[in-house]
Amino acid sequence: MYRKLFSVTGKPRKLDGGALFGTTPRSAWVEWLSPDYDNEVELASRALLVQQNGLNILVMAGTDALLAPLARTCRCQRPAVGLLDSLARLGVEEGQIHAVVLTHLHAMLAADVRRAISDGDTPRLLFPSARYLVGRQHWTRASHPHPRDRALFVPQVINQLQGSGRLHLLDGVTSDWLGEGWRFHVSDGYTPGQLLPEIEMPGGPIIFAGDLVPARQWLTLDLTTAFDRNPEGLIDEKERLLDHLVAQGGRLFLARDPGVAMIKIARDKQHRYQPFDHHAALHRLDS
């Protein structure tokens, strides 16, 4: 099957650095990402566009970028460059996305979007012609969240997905609709039932790392975040996934890294994972 892969970017997101790096001392993580005066660091919002058999398939981590941009309140505001703009540069319109694969349904929204939702003005979901593919296990979690992570699921987003008539729940590690060359790694450490797609390519598979490995720094096994539901389990999952990738000679696609979209990985003599062959963006990768 012939495929073309591209990275596409949404509006960057900001998160509290202390929560993002968990138990890692601030003196260490400020060397990796510089916080602002509110102790927030900026992360990318990066998705993977897969074109195959005349279909446009978008892989996304979470639902942050799945909501339509808010309307400008005055002309003096500069329009925010987001996911639709990135797709347009590739010649893909919103209505031409056939499927959206969502690794999970967390939504860490900007303050203005949260205010709009609180005021009863929830933005619509993007891609009105697309089916939304979500793991059934994770859908159960999102529909009945635990108090520990309830705030990460936005009921209005979950309700829109359910009411769209285009929600497809995945039960296994493959999908008949996506076809051959797709398989999913199931990860429970960050959130139960996160699906990490592995896409077969001639030069080795590409794995969309979601929030198991959000950026290069998380190649360090014991680096976790305050958002992880099961940090010890996550470390084990991360090691298995990275060892599989090294053995296959594959590449890792990073959804949150501010500077790098894709890397290859080696394991050194001290059993540490080392990134190499960095790509700031994936302009086009052909099968």
Beta strands in the chain (DSSP E): 3-9, 13-16, 40-43, 46-52, 55-60, 99-102, 131-135, 167-170, 182-187, 194-199, 206-208, 251-253, 262-267, 273-279, 285-286
**Would you state the structure tokens that stand for residue 273, as one six-digit string?**
């994972």
Over the Cα atoms of the chain, what is R_g?
18
Tokens 């566009």 -> residue: 49
Average pLDDT of span 99-126: 94
pLDDT single digits (tens) 181-229? 999 999 999 999 999 999 999 999 999 999 999 999 999 999 999 999 9
H helices of 223-283, in order, are 231-248
Degrees, nearest 5: CA angle 200-205-208:
100
Q: How far apart are the first and last CA of the chain?
A: 8
Percent of the chain with pLDDT over 70: 97
Average pLDDT, the chain: 94
Q: How many CB atoms lie within 10 A of CB 227?
A: 18
**Would you state the structure tokens that stand for residue 99, as one six-digit string?**
């499927």
Instruction: State pTM to two decimals.
Output: 0.95
**Would you state the structure tokens that stand for residue 34, as one six-digit string?**
């510089």
Fold classified for 3-286: Metallo-beta-lactamase; Chain A (3.60.15)
How many helices and strands, by DSSP H and E, does the chain display?
7, 15
pLDDT of residue 286: 77
pLDDT of residue 111: 87
pLDDT single digits (tens) 263-285? 999 999 999 999 999 999 998 88
**Would you state the structure tokens that stand for residue 285, as one six-digit string?**
């990768």
Q: Minimal CA–CA distance to 2: which of 53, 48, 50?
A: 53
pLDDT single digits (tens) 25-77? 999 999 999 999 999 999 999 999 999 999 999 999 999 999 999 876 656 55
